[in-house]
Structure formats: C-alpha cells, structure tokens
A and B are shown apart, each in its own frame.
Chain A
Amino acid sequence: MKKFINNPEDVVEEMLEGMAAAHSDELRRLPGWNVLVRKDAPLPGKVGLVSGGGSGHEPAHAGYIGENMLDAAVAGEVFTSPAPDQIFEAIKAVDSGSGVLLIVKNFSGDVMNFDMAAEMAAAEGIETAQVVVKDDIAVERKEDRRGTAGTVLVHKIVGTALEEGLNLQEAVELAHHVTSRLGSMGISLSPSTVPASGKPGFTLADDEMELGTGIHGEPGMERKKIQPADAVAEELLDNVTAELDVKNGDDVIVLVNGQGSTPLMELYIVYRKAAQLLFERNISIHKSMVGEYMSSLEMAGCSLTLLKLDDTLKKYVT
C-alpha cells in the first residue's frame, strides 16, 4: 500500500480537518462530529438536505455542500456507513423547523443507519424523510440496486428545488421523480485499497476489465478482456439507454465519472464516444459532466450516468 497518509486509523478525521480548513468560507465542522455543514445553515424556512456515507468517495459528499446542494454531509469510516448519532447531529444542525430530507445510497449499512437516525430525529420532534438512490443498473433486482454517481444529480436537482422553497413532501416527490429516470453503470480496470485493511478490494488481471462494479468494488456483471475506449463507452451507453428507455428526441444529462485514478484524458475519450452515439441517435445532451464526482479511492475505471429529463426536471438544471 502506497498512500499519503499518516496513520490508517486517522484518515477520516484528518481529511475532515483538512476540508474544514480549506473551505472555511463555505462550511464548518460540527465540533466532535464527522459532520460538515453549510456555514449559514440552518436556513430559515428551508427544508434541510443531508447526505453522507462511507468516506473514500470524495468529493462525495462534503464537496457538495453549498447553495443549491447539500446543507450537511456525514462522513463514515472509509467505505463504511456513518453511525446514526452522527447523522442525527447533521439533521439537528440543518433543521430550521421545516424538516430534513435525507439522501441515502442503497447499501444495507447506510439504509439501516439513516433509518435509525430518522427514528432519533422523530423522537425529538424533527420531521425527516428519506430517499434511497438505486441507480446502479448492473444489479438486476431493482430494489437491490446500489447507489452510485447518479446520487450527485439527486443532490443537485433537489437542492436547487429546495432553495426555491419546496416543502418536504414536494421534495420527496421530486427526488423520486429524479431517481425513476436515473441510471448508471461502472467499469473498472483495477481495485482500490482501504487504508485500514491495506489490501486491494479485489483482483483483476492486467488485461482484464470488470463491467458493472460498484463504487466499493462490489462484483459486477462480467469480467472480460480490456477493450478500446470507444467500445467501453458504447457498452455502458447501450446498457443505460436501454434500461431508461432513452430514445430519439429525448433530452439527457450525461455524467462520466472517474473512479479515482483514471485520468481526465481517458474520461473525455469515453465521453467523446458517448456524445457521438447520442448525437447519432438524436438524443440531445442538455448538460455534460466529466470528472471525479463519486470516486472510489484509487480505483481505476469510470462510470456513465444518464438522467432522462422532462420539463419538471429542466426547471432545476442550471
């Protein structure tokens, strides 16, 4: 293991200290908690927006704190869900009395910890609602699908809408509307290493790639010989468009996400082909995002996310 760390046990704490110091103009740390909140939170009258999960996916989630996005982000240990008391602190810090919406990636740990935090909030009279993102179409059963890079689009659209004054119930409906039109698929070239374990999460031969891997290296659909970027882009795009039934005349947001150690150069090469194919199929790209949005430590690979837009969603895409 070769990393710029001090002690594997301190990585989350030290990262949070670094983030709070670097971005003190926009966010603050709740003293004693692994929670970063928007500096001006709670905003009077606004429904709070909280997300979080295991660390190691930076900039997710603390990087999305700010206007039109999150009010708070909760950081768990690396690739491990945060505990309920941490999430509860975040909820309390951003609640203005209008309730708090929790955006959760669908992993059993995250779901259970956020459930418990919501119960703790209810016991103190704070209203919360949860939306679980299940955008990873590599998993067959819809209810088992994992939350991946598409989560960022949920933050963005719901965050923008909340700023405009949606109430909690309306925000839940909007978030469900987003997730019903959202799909992602990843492809990986090499694994990541969680500092505490010191060992790579999986192994892949030098000439292999794995289609459908999750953001913690969960197994995908298939391993095969590595292919050129164009073929990779086409396979990801075909899978996601088929799943979302994106067709001629539709409008989409395209997100090509880097898993951690794949250069932007390669992400753009993948994006290029995806954009060409969409153009040929007369699907228009309303907005493009290329970069690291939901990383997986130093995993190599990328994922492609599409959000199929409609008039409701377009209102909130800036």
Chain B
Amino acid sequence: MELTLNVMKRWLVTADEKMQNHKEYLSELDQAIGDGDHGHNMARGFQAAVENVKENTEEDIGSLIKAAAMTLISKVGGASGPLYGTAFLKASDEWKGKDSLSQDEFTKGLEAAVEGIKTRGKAESGGKTMLDVWTPVLEYIQHHDIAASDLSAKAKESMQQTENMKAEKGRASYYGEESISHTDPGAYSSYLLFEALAEALDKEEA
C-alpha cells in the first residue's frame, strides 16, 4: 500500500470535514472535564490548514504536512495546538521530499509524531489524553496493513477506553476522580483524525 500525496491531501480535507461536523460535540466533551473549547480550537485550526493546502501546491508530502503543522500551531491554540502541531511537524521531517510513502515510511512518521506529543506534553499513555489514541494506533500500524478497514475501529475502541481513565494531564486533571466516565476530547478528535485517514485510504482503493 502506497500513501500518495493525494491520499495525504484527502486525509487533511476529510479530517477538516470531521472537525467541522463534530465541533459542538468535541466542545461538549471538553465542557465536562475541561473548558469547552476543544471543538472550536480544532475546527478553527483544521479549516485554516485545509485552506492553506488548497492555496499551496505542495510538491511533496513532507512540505504538505509541514505547512499543515505550521498552520495548526498558529491557529488551534490551547493545549491541542502545540500537540497536534508538533506531531505533524515531527512526522513531516520523516517525510521530507517524498511524493509517496510505503507503510514503513508512514509508520516512521507516526512514531516521530507520538514521540513529539510525549515530549511536548510531558505525558505518557494511560493519562487520558490524545496519546491514548495515538499510541495504540501506532502499535496497530506497526503490525497490520494500514489499508485494512480495522484502522478506524482501533482508533474508536482506544478513544472509548479513555472513558475509564483518570486524567493526569491538562485541564481535565483538575477533575481528579470525577474525570472518570467521560471521554477525553483530545482522544475523540484524534479518533476523528485516524478515521479520516482510513476513509482517505478507502477512497484511493476504490
């Protein structure tokens, strides 16, 4: 399975659609254990990132993802801006100059992204954050064919598991035990991001 420049573009566009469609829902999740801005932050950031992608005619995947990263960093704000931004930026470094990625190359980028989130957020998985989707998705991709339709199921299942976790990082940590039985908003937006990837790949297959 090759991930072409087109697939990567479609990934961003689909992710943006999902962020717009789930803007209110993401903010509602954040209202319960945060400050209610996550959906607005993500919708603002992805909209800008996609506008940027449409305007620029990036020739390779590295520069496409780097441009998206820079827009996310400057437009999302909050905690998720630096985290998503760093993730994309680290991945873009691995994808520099490539106009298509093998699964191995894609995985390398994702590994760098997960490391980036951990370093930026001083976080580990298990703390009820977006990492609790990124880490299991990465492990899945390390061992399975990315084109398999289970990618989004894996992301979804991981997102749902954040419901049982106690928040260790970010605003939700102030809620302590009370954070349990709520889904983490950043985990939900990460699930949307990987569902968008699965859909972008699906379209390519068809």
B77 touching A112, Cβ below 8 Å: no
A84 touching B35, Cβ below 8 Å: no
B37 at interface (Cβ–Cβ under 8 A)?
A: yes
- Contacting residue for A144 out of B79, B83, B173, CB 8 A: B173
A108-B121, A112-B82 known; A197+B76 contact, CB < 8 A: no
A218 touching B171, Cβ below 8 Å: yes
| Closest Cβ neighbor of B30 among chain A residues | A197
Q: How large is the interface on A (under 10, 10 to 19, 20 to 34, 35 or more residues)?
A: 20 to 34
Chain A residues numbered 65-114 whose CB sits less than 8 Å from any CB in chain B? 76-86, 107-109, 112-113
- What's the Cα separation between A109 and B80 when bound, in Å? 7
B76 touching A194, Cβ below 8 Å: no
A83 touching B35, Cβ below 8 Å: no
- Contacting residue for A109 out of B78, B86, B178, CB 8 A: B78
B62 at interface (Cβ–Cβ under 8 A)?
A: no
In the assembled complex, which residues on chain B have CB atoms less than 8 Å from the CB atom of A107? 79, 171
- What's the Cα separation between A85 and B75 when bound, in Å? 9
- What's the Cα separation between A201 and B35 when bound, in Å? 7
A197 touching B40, Cβ below 8 Å: yes
Chain A residues numbered 172-222 whose CB sits less than 8 Å from any CB in chain B? 194, 196-197, 199, 201, 214, 216-219
Chain B residues numbered 1-57 whose CB sits less than 8 Å from any CB in chain A? 27, 31, 35-37, 40-41
In the assembled complex, which residues on chain A have CB atoms less than 8 Å from the CB atom of B81? 81, 83, 109, 113
Chain A contact residues: over half helix, strand or loop, or mixed? Answer: loop
In the assembled complex, which residues on chain B have CB atoms less than 8 Å from the CB atom of A82? 77
A139-B174, A218-B171 known; A108+B79 contact, CB < 8 A: yes
B27 touching A112, Cβ below 8 Å: no
Chain A residues numbered 125-184 whose CB sits less than 8 Å from any CB in chain B? 139, 144, 146
In the assembled complex, which residues on chain B have CB atoms less than 8 Å from the CB atom of A76? 77-78
**Chain B: minimal CB distance from A55 (Å):** 11
**Chain A: minimal CB distance from B17 (Å):** 20
B175 touching A80, Cβ below 8 Å: no
Extra 6 A-B pairs, beta carbons < 8 Å, given A112-B79, A115-B82? A81-B79, A82-B77, A86-B74, A107-B171, A109-B77, A194-B35
18 inter-chain pairs at a CB distance below 8 angstroms, sorted by A residue, are: A77-B41, A81-B79, A83-B74, A83-B77, A83-B81, A109-B81, A109-B170, A112-B82, A115-B82, A116-B82, A146-B174, A194-B35, A194-B37, A197-B27, A201-B31, A201-B36, A219-B174, A219-B175
